[in-house]
Each structure stands twice: as structure tokens, then as C-alpha cells.
């Protein structure tokens, strides 16, 4: 019995967390919220909240092309982060050599970051 419980343990926890993750926001937003809050909407309350500024235009406007460069840079450093994961997981078994390897890896990417910085890619001036 104990063995069976062990085998099911991981999946059981996953299922419990899945149910909790679905139930908590649904319960808070659609069940408990409407029961607790007063509902007296008017036109002023229904307008989109834009930090106190009167909203204007459509939400789906075209964005500046500069954002795309940040997305590309993000992808590069995201891939770098991915390699940190197996490195951290096997760190104790690998020892000093892997540490040096990762330092070299990170150093090369820092050079790339410094290059982008020097080229004023990270600055936002119109």
C-alpha cells in the first residue's frame, strides 16, 4: 500500500496543484467576487483603465520596430539561460572544469551584450 502511494505520489500532487490552480482564480473572479462586491456599473466605470488618462483610439495599434530588437536580444539571452539549467543540475558531479567552461560561455555573451551597449541599442532616444 505504501509502495502504491509512493508511485502515485508525484502525479497526485500534480493533479492537486492543477485543480487548485484552476479553482483559485475561477472561484475568486467568478464565484466569490460577484457575491461580495456591489455591482452598479455605469459608463464612466466601464471605460478602459489607462492610469487616469482618457483612453483614445484602438488598442491594436502598430508598435515601433525598436521593440522587435529587444525581443531578438531576449531570445539570445533566453537560450543562454537554458544552458544554465543542465549546468546547475549537474554542477556537483562535474567540478571545476565545467565551471570554467560556463564562465567562458557567459564571458563570450557578455562581450555581445557590451557590443550591443556600445552600439547604443539599449538606449531609447527618438
- Count other Cβ atoms within 10 Å, centred on residue 121: 15
Confirm or reject binding of residue 23 to another protein (CB under 8 A): no
What is the radius of gyration, based on Cα positions, of the chain? 25
Shortest distance (Å) from residue 77 CB to another protein: 8
Kindly state whether residue 85 participates in binding another protein, applying the rule CB under 8 A. Answer: yes
Distances (CA, A) of 124 to 3, 25, 68, 96: 60, 37, 13, 40
**Options 19-27, 29-37, 38-46, 70-78: segment touching another protein (CB under 8 A):** 70-78
Region near another protein per CB under 8 A, out of 26-34, 35-43, 46-54, 114-122 = 114-122
Nearest to another protein of 35, 65 (CB atom): 65
82 is an interface residue for another protein by CB under 8 A: yes
Residues 37-66 contacting another protein, CB under 8 A: 60, 62-63, 65-66
Residue 47: partners with Cβ closer than 8 Å, 6 or more residues away: 55
Q: Which of 71, 96, 123, 126 binds another protein (CB under 8 A)?
A: 71
Q: Count Cα neighbours of 7 within 13 Å in the Cβ-side half-sphere.
A: 3
Distance CA 90, CA 72 (A): 29
Amino acid at each position: 500500500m505504501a509502495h502504491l502511494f509512493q508511485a502515485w505520489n508525484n502525479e497526485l500532487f500534480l493533479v492537486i496543484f492543477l485543480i487548485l490552480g484552476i479553482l483559485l482564480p475561477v472561484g475568486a473572479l467568478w464565484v466569490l467576487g460577484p457575491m461580495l462586491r456591489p455591482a452598479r456599473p455605469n459608463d464612466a466605470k466601464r471605460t478602459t483603465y489607462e492610469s487616469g488618462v482618457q483612453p483614445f483610439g484602438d488598442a491594436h495599434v502598430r508598435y515601433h520596430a525598436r521593440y522587435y530588437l529587444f525581443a531578438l536580444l531576449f531570445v539570445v539571452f533566453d537560450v543562454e539561460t537554458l544552458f544554465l539549467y543542465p549546468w546547475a543540475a549537474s554542477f556537483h558531479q562535474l567540478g571545476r572544469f565545467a565551471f570554467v567552461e560556463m564562465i567562458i560561455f557567459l564571458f563570450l555573451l557578455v562581450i555581445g551584450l557590451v557590443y550591443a551597449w556600445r552600439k547604443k541599442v539599449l538606449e531609447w532616444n527618438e
